[in-house]
Amino acid sequence: MTGERLMPIYARLPVTLVRGEGCRVWADDGAAYLDLLGGLGALSLGHAHPRWVAAVTDAASTIGMTTNLVTTMPQARVADRLASITPVDDATVFLCNSGAEANEALLKLVRKHGLAAGRPIVVALEGSFHGRTIATLAATGQPAKRAPFEPLVDWIRFVPAGDVGALDAALAPGDVGAVLLEPILGEGGVVPLAPGYLRAVRDRCNASGALFAADEVQTGSGRTGRWLALEAAGVRPDVVALAKALGGGLPIGAVVARADLAFGPGEHGSTFGGGPVPSAAALAVLDTIEAEGLLANVAAMGGLLRDEVARLAPAGALAEIRGDGLLCGFRVHGSTAPAVVQALLARGVLASTAGPDVVRCTPPFTIGPDEIDEGAKVLAAALEDAA
């Protein structure tokens, strides 16, 4: 199957996958690949993890679609669980279907709060990525992605990432209701924000009355070895968006917000959000992360991958190695990241790019040292191939 009827939205790798197990996938021609792509960070437990499969199968055979006019047990349980593990005060949860939907809801929520307070502006970071819906695209700090669809909403103000002085200037008019950021700029090149900067943002939000809004779609649900990447800086957001790794392969997103910020009846909604099957999948992900000690494994394996690539890569092949946990970015010289990804594919490894100069690896949390060793060796060889 070539997928010629699919809209050409993605620059797809020339492979059709038919089966997966753990961190391995197989194509329709029988070729096997080590999956360091991991569903762009969504495949937290790998392919066909027994706990996840059992939970999804049980849910699908118990009750199907109900809508949010009623409550289901998986939905209620996943909301309780997210409220308990997410460092948001007096947390409430809105469940949806994707990261873009979670960020869209987050923006709508902080916009409502800001308008009520006479502070309608949302500050976002240059280089950020928050989704491809109209509002999330407007808040994405990458002009090339916005340009074909402009004019967009006019209440976003951009500042350079990591620049406290620029943030102070943006807050100075007193019209900012929220500051939105990714703790690690994912699509922007896997660029971590310094802990000191994150704490400075929190301090300035406290002083100005602005909300601290975090997009942890890529970094949350354990991707960095913590439930939220912000925990490394000791920062608590007022509202946070989650998705990707939360569902382990099924579409689910969440907004976790302070109770005083919550939407009221009729202010927002989602027909499929928090359905029984994806909620059961999310519960299986959270349960398995805890039962199998995967947060510690994420931290250890991510560090090992970065260290091994640094050791094995040809001299001068990499400009920088970035990331946290199993969100890893390997910055190359020039715009050769796509060529490296193709060289990886030819050698039996799947990865992605985060811009033209960054090779991104987001493998499952279950990856082990032998697979890390294999991936690092192949990446080093691919860097030489693409040189």
Tell me how long the chain is. 387
108 annotated active-site: no
244 annotated active-site: yes
CA–CA gap between residue 106 and residue 192 (Å, rounded): 22
CA–CA gap between residue 346 and residue 378 (Å, rounded): 10
Active-site residue, selected from the candidate residues 94, 129, 212, 365 = 129
CA–CA gap between residue 6 and residue 171 (Å, rounded): 44
CA–CA gap between residue 161 and residue 290 (Å, rounded): 33
Active-site residue, selected from the candidate residues 35, 212, 215, 330 = 215
Q: Which of 68, 128, 119 is nearest to 93 (CA)?
A: 68
129 annotated active-site: yes
CA–CA gap between residue 281 and residue 366 (Å, rounded): 16
Q: Output b/e per residue, 233-249; b: 16+ Cβ within 10 A.
A: bebbbbbbbbbbbbbbb
Active-site residue, selected from the candidate residues 244, 324, 330, 357 = 244
CA–CA gap between residue 229 and residue 220 (Å, rounded): 6
Q: Which residues are catalytic?
A: 129, 215, 244
